[in-house]
Amino acid sequence: MRLDVITIFPEYLDPLRHALLGKALERGILEVGVHDLRNWASGGHRAVDDTPFGGGPGMVMMPEIWGPALDDVAAGTRDGTVLDSATPHLDAPRHDELNGISGHSYEGESGELPLLIVPTPAGEPFTQEMARQWSNESHIVFACGRYEGIDQRVVDDAAQRYRVREISIGDYVLVGGEVAVLVMAEAIVRLIPGVLGNRSSHEEDSFSDGLLEGPSYTKPRTWRGREVPEVLFSGDHGRIARWRRDQALLRTQERRPELLDTVELSDADERALYSRNVATDLNVLINPADWGRAVAKLPKKLRKAGFDVTDIHAEIVDLTCEPDNMLVTQFEQTEGHVPVTEVLHRVLVNGRSHLDLRELTQLVVRNLPRGTYWYGTTDEGHREPGIAAACAWQDPGS
Ligand code: SAM
């Protein structure tokens, strides 16, 4: 890939010679030309800006300077200062080379015209997806604005020689485009196959699956009394992968919830994100033997359906506490006689679930014998049996 940067501060681009980018220069994966815009200016001061039409503060960069500069760089007639790596790097084989992993090319924008990126706070927001696509380009030119920016006609006219994109690196205003170029160049170049020693490290980065990456840990296992999460020592790759995914989901939900709108969530993802403590509190008119059978299977069946039960309490309600119990009345009206074997139970199921509260009530009831008389609801939080409960739950001595 060839990057050309046009700027009035060529020295600002020196960081492109260091670290990973320096290595890429050394390996010939990357070539960078830096051009001083003033080379296209004339006159004693080699001015590149003038006052804005229509008045207002600041200065605007002139089309007569930017136009020829962009023409020349598109035509490849000026090399600029070609950067070399800041320090020679040791040429030890890296992870991918040791593991026989070769670079692969990405699908992305391509075309005969070079890509011109014009950094501006008024541009489209830069994203990891853009970096991924542009890592497949062969020639990218960056036009660094200063002052109030570049005369708009320069950008419009450049579309004849370039595919032009006006890009912002965030909702704040920098002094000039150079720092924005460093940001974008670094994000793009590290994705060129062969630049990172271990390709899988960027495949797991934040944003590559639409989520923020979760926390990472290294030795020592305990530091200042803080422990590394136990699951990371389990040796169970499936559990570790699930834990990492859950951490990424929860971090994204907390810090960038809007990102979740575009992510496809599995059932396990939904559980990780939306599980909360819930309590289903029911009055049930049921034969004690039937209840015994139902409750034996209840935790397993509910868990399978997405309700992780932590405890189930059931008490027989003394009807002297509830002389007008609605279920008993309903039973009598429907069946034409008083309940004989059926007994009023108060049933409390505590657990965790991501499911809707109504759905949870239905789920518990569906696991009772067909035709069981019941009423009740599910609420968020856990409930203690006996606290604010009916008199059957109160200490008989009180
Ligand atoms: N008057 C401009 C505006 O309000 O949109 C701001 C110009 S700014 C002071 C000067 C230059 O810094 C811009 O031309 C652009 O190259 C660069 N710049 C500033 N903020 C930027 C951002 N958030 N993203 C990309 N480039 C930015």
Spacing, Cα 58 to ligand 1 middle (Å)? 13
Q: What integer is the mean pLDDT of 239-254?
A: 98
Kindly give the distance from the C-alpha atom of residue 55 to the centroid of ligand 1, in angstroms, as a whole number.
19
In the prediction, which pLDDT does 198 show?
73
207 CA to centre of ligand 1 in angstroms: 25
* Number of separate domains in the chain: 3
Query: How far, in Å, is the centroid of ligand 1 from the Cα of 170?
Result: 10
Cβ(176) to ligand 1 under 6 A?
yes
Q: Please name the helix (run of DSSP H) or strand (run of DSSP E) that holds residue 41, with its range, or none.
A: none
Average pLDDT, the chain: 92
Of the residues 203, 229, 261, the one at which a domain ends: 203
Question: What is the mean pLDDT of the segment spanning 238-259?
Answer: 97
Q: Report phi then psi at 24, rounded to 5.
A: -65, -35
Q: Are residues 78 and 94 in the same domain?
A: yes
With a 6 Å cutoff on the Cβ, whether 194 touches ligand 1 is no
Query: Ligand 1 mean position to 149 CA, how many Å?
Result: 7
| CATH at residue 132 | 3.40.1280.10
Active site residue 255: no
Shared domain check, 188 and 239: no
Q: Is pLDDT at 170 greater than 70 in this prediction? A: yes
Q: What is the pLDDT of residue 96?
A: 64
144 lines ligand 1 (CB under 6 A): yes
CA 63 and chain centroid, separation: 40
Report whether pLDDT(245) > 70.
yes
Q: Is 119 annotated in the active site?
A: no
Residue 343 lies in a domain: yes
Per-residue confidence at 105, pLDDT binned at 50, 70, 90? very low
State yes or no: is 121 an active-site residue: yes
Is the model's pLDDT at 108 over the cut of 50?
no
pLDDT at 269 exceeding the cut of 80: yes
What DSSP element (H or E) covers 19? helix 19-26
What integer pLDDT is reported at residue 391 of this predicted model?
57
Clarify whether residues 70 and 161 are in a common domain: yes
What pLDDT is attached to residue 320? 80
- The answer to whether 116 touches 70, Cβ cutoff 8 Å, is yes
52 Cβ inside 6 Å of ligand 1: no
Within a domain: 370: yes
Its pTM stands at: 0.82
CB 365 within 8 A of CB 372: yes
The answer to whether the CB of 7 is under 6 A from ligand 1 is no
Q: For residue 398, what pLDDT is reported?
A: 47
| Ligand 1 centroid distance, CA of 232 (Å) | 44
User: Which residue out of 132, 146, 165, 190 is catalytically annotated?
Assistant: 190
- pLDDT for position 90: 55
Ligand 1 neighbourhood includes 49 CB (under 6 angstroms): no
Tell whether 318 and 218 lie within a shared domain. Answer: no
Tell me which of 236, 255, 274 is where a domain ends: 274
Q: Ligand 1: does its nearest atom lie under 6 Å from the Cβ of 149?
A: yes
Kindly name the residue from 121, 193, 299, 385 that is annotated as catalytic. Answer: 121
Does one domain contain both 334 and 294?
A: yes
Q: 165 near 184, Cβ under 8 Å?
A: no
Task: Indicate the residue among 253, 274, 295 that finishes a domain.
Answer: 274
Q: Is the CB of 210 under 6 A from ligand 1?
A: no
Give me 101's structure tokens.
Answer: 């992993």
What is the per-residue pLDDT across 294-348, written as a single tens digit (0 to 9) for each?
A: 999 999 999 999 999 999 999 998 888 777 889 999 999 999 999 999 999 999 9
> Is position 398 within any domain?
no
Q: Are 68 and 139 in contact (CB under 8 A)?
A: no
Residue with CA nearest ligand 1 atom 21: 121
pLDDT band with cut points at 50, 70 and 90 for residue 43 = confident
Any ligand 1 atom below 6 A from CB of 170: yes
Is 314 within the bounds of a domain? yes
Q: What residues make up the domain containing 99?
A: 2-203
Model confidence at 283: pLDDT above 60: yes
Mutate to test the pocket of ligand 1, among 37, 144, 173 (most ligand atoms within 8 A of CB): 173
Nearest CA to ligand 1 atom 12: 176
Tell me, using a 6 A CB cutoff, whether residue 159 lines ligand 1. no
Work out which ligand 1 atom sits closest to the CA atom of 167: 25
pLDDT above 70 as % of the chain = 91
Contact, 291 vs 284, CB < 8 A?
A: yes
| Range 324-331 contact pairs with CB under 8 angstroms and sequence separation of 24 or more | 325/283, 326/283, 326/375, 327/283, 327/284, 327/285, 327/373, 327/374, 327/375, 328/285, 330/373, 331/285, 331/373
Q: How far is the CA of 122 from the centre of ligand 1 (A)?
A: 7
Q: What is the pLDDT of residue 319?
A: 83
